[in-house]
Structure 1
Amino acid sequence: MNIQNATVLVTGANRGLGAEFARQALARGASKVYAAARDPSTVGLAGVVPVKLDVTDAAAVGALAADLGDVDLVINNAGIADMKGVLDQDADASLRRMLETNVFGILNVSRAFAPVLARNGGGAFLNVLSVASWISSPVLAAYAVSKSAAWGLTNGLRNELAGQGTQVLALHVGFIDTDLTKGLGVPKLGVATVVDSGFAALEEGRAEVAVDELTQAVKRGLSAEPGIYTLPR
């Protein structure tokens, strides 16, 4: 998928990684970038078209897809994270919130825009996932459940959309320097590095990319015995 001359929709585009996806899409020659956010007035990047979108509202997503018939690249970036273990007192409510955004949000957007991409020659989805798709830790256990589900969803979408020529790229990455990771005393990647890797993989026609060394090591270790599925507290 070539970014140059593409019409791009970025979800969660008002800050952090989403804003950087929008900025780099413009820099790489995209003809138009729709920057989606629950409150489009919070989108401050010049050159984009702010649009209102709550990815958890399937009807609203469908209405937006009907309006944006020129899109040929969708970046499913919107996501939330709660620092919860799966057995924490309020883990049920927290996990449901994350599943609604991190999994059903991707499903809502993908289901609504897949026909749009088909009409425009196939196009692509880029789904922002995580090293937590493959590994868990006590503080991120509930989040990891949602990202593992999002990985499975992404693989399912790739199979079902292959016939219409739609590329589906899973972007897995460790800790990124955004609002989601505030308070975590761990090494973090800059948003520019992550987006650059994602767009490079997209233009290479890849199905999956592990951006950083941690994520690459975890992926290699999935077949290890004993399995590398957990991080220490």
Structure 2
Amino acid sequence: MKIEGAVVFVTGANRGLGLEFAKQALARGARKVYAGARDPASVTLPGVVPVKLDVTDPAAVAAAAEAARDVTLLINNAGIARYGSLMDEGAPEALRDHFETNVFGMLAMSRAFASKLAANGGGAILNVLSVASWLNRPLLAGYGVSKSAAWGLTNGLRHSLREQHTQVVGLHAGFIDTDLTSGLDVAKATPADVVSQAYDAIEAGAEEVSTDEFTRQAKAGLSAGIYLDAPLPR
């Protein structure tokens, strides 16, 4: 599908990667861009339609889907990431929080908007995943578990929605230069580059895209067990 003329809904659109998704959708000629955020007043980008949205709140998700019935492209960008290993104090609670947003929130949005996408010709869903879908280290262990589950969810949605001609795209990326990674001394991609590749992939009809060389190498190395001992990029 083309971004030009599309009606795009971006979750977590008030900052970081979500804000960049909204900016580039407008720049590529999207007909309308809905910007979902817990506090719609925090959405300050001119030209978008702010929508109050907490992806962990079923009522808020249903209201957003009802308000944006014309959507043709859903960007499931909203997510949380907390530092720490699975052995840390509070790890089980942190893992539940990760799943509520990164997995169940993604599922709730996809289910709520699936019928709208079907009514509008099929459209597309893009799920923001991570190289952490495949490589899990103590730095972001709970986050990695949730992104592995979100990858499985994305693969399941792809087959569930294929009959209604909805393109489901998994976006895998390494560290991106946003607030989340501000304290990390690692190689980082720019949000602009990641989003540009994501939109190019949607327009090319792709079902999965890896936005940097380390992530592409991780995917290629899965059968060789790269997830067992691969270091993080420096």
Instruction: Give the whole-Å Cα distance in 1 for the aligned partners of 2:231 and 2:195.
Output: 28
1:230 deviates by 4.1
After the TM superposition, list the runs of 4 or more consecutive aligned residues in structure 1 that deviate by more than 6 angstroms: none
Match of 2:86 in 1: 86
SS at match of 2:126: strand
Could you tell me whether the CA contact under 8 Å between 2:58 and 2:108 is conserved in 1?
A: yes
In structure 2, C-alpha distance between the alignment counterparts of 1:7 and 1:103, rounded to whole Å: 24
- Whole-Å Cα distance in 1 between the matches of residues 27 and 231 of structure 2? 40
Residue 64 of structure 1: how far off its partner (Å): 1.5
How far does the alpha carbon of each residue in 1:35-68 deviate from its partner, in whole angstroms, 9 at most, with x for none? 0100010011111111100000112101221121
**Deviation digits for residues 54-101 of structure 1 (CA, Å, limit 9, x no counterpart):** 000112101221121110100000011001111111101111111100
**1:92-136 deviation digits (Å, cap 9, x = unpaired):** 111111110000110010000000000000000000000000011
Q: 1:142, 1:87 → 2: CA distance?
A: 10
Is residue 71–residue 117 contact of structure 1 (8 Å, CA) maintained in 2? yes
In structure 1, distance between residues paired with 2:59 and 2:176: 31
Query: Structure 2 stretches of 5 or more lacking a match?
Result: none
Structure 1 residue runs of 5 or longer lacking an equivalent are none
The equivalent residue for 1:175 is: 175
Which residue of the partner structure matches residue 34 of structure 1?
A: 34
Structure 1 residue 232: Cα displacement:
4.2
CA distance in 2, matches of 1:230, 1:94: 24
Residue in structure 1 matched with residue 144 of structure 2 by the alignment: 144
TM alignment of 1:1-233, pairs within 5 A = 1-224=1-224, 226-232=225-231
CA contact (8 A) 2:127 2:169 kept: yes
Matched residue SS, 2:171: strand
Q: How many residues align?
A: 232
Instruction: State the secondary structure of the residue aligned to 1:126.
Output: strand
Aligned residues: CA RMSD: 1.0
**Secondary structure at the counterpart of residue 35 of structure 1:** strand
CA contact 1:84–1:94 (8 Å) conserved in 2: no
Conservation of the 8 A alpha-carbon contact between 1:11 and 1:78: yes
Q: Is the 8 A contact 2:136 2:227 kept in 1?
A: no
**Following the alignment from structure 1 to structure 2, what is the Cα–Cα distance between the partners of residues 218 and 202?**
22
- Identical columns (%): 62
**Structure 1 residue 231 displacement after superposition:** 4.1
The answer on whether the counterparts of 1:136 and 1:230 sit within 8 Å (CA) in structure 2 is no
With the length of structure 1 as denominator, give the TM-score of the two structures: 0.97
Partner Cα distance (1:20, 1:177) in 2: 12
2-structure distance, mates of 1:103, 1:16? 20
State how far apart, in whole Å, the 2-side matches of 1:49 and 1:62 are: 17
AA of the residue aligned to 1:156 = G
TM-score (normalizing by structure 2): 0.97
SS of match in other structure, 1:103: helix
CA contact (8 A) 1:84 1:142 kept: yes
Kept in 1, the 8 Å contact 2:126–2:171? The answer is: yes
Question: Could you tell which deviates more after superposition, 58-67 or 13-22?
Answer: 58-67
Tell me how far apart the structure 2 counterparts of residues 227 and 101 of structure 1 sit (CA, whole Å): 27
CA distance in 1 between partners of 2:38 and 2:227 (Å): 37
Letter of the 1:70 partner, please give it. D
Letter in 1 for 2:94: S
> More displaced, 123-132 or 81-90?
81-90
